[in-house]
Amino acid sequence: MSNNNQLVDICIITYNQEQFIDECIASTFNQNTNSNVMVHVYDDASSDQTFERLKKLTPKSKNTSIKINQNTRNLGVSANFHQAVKQTESDYIAILEGDDYWIDPCKLELQIKAMEQNPKASFCFTDVWVEKNGKRGDIHPNLGGKTRKFNAISLADQTGSIAQTCTLLIRRKFLQDLPDWVLNSYTLDWCLQIFLANQGPAIYIPQITARS
Report percent pLDDT > 70 for the chain. Answer: 97
pLDDT for res 154: 96
What is the crossing angle of helices 77-86 and 188-199, to 10°? 40
- pLDDT tens-digit series, residues 88-131: 999 999 999 999 999 999 999 999 999 999 999 999 999 999 98
What Cα–Cα distance (Å) separates residue 61 from each residue in 32, 35, 38? 9, 11, 11
For every residue of 7-19, DSSP letters joined together read: EEEEEEEESS-TT
Q: Which residue stretches of the chain have pLDDT < 50? A: 1-4
pLDDT for res 6: 59
pLDDT for res 136: 74
- pLDDT tens-digit series, residues 72-95: 999 999 999 999 999 999 999 999
Query: Counting beta carbons within 10 angstroms of the beta carbon of residue 119, is it exposed (0 to 12), middle (13 to 18) or buried (19 or more)?
Result: exposed
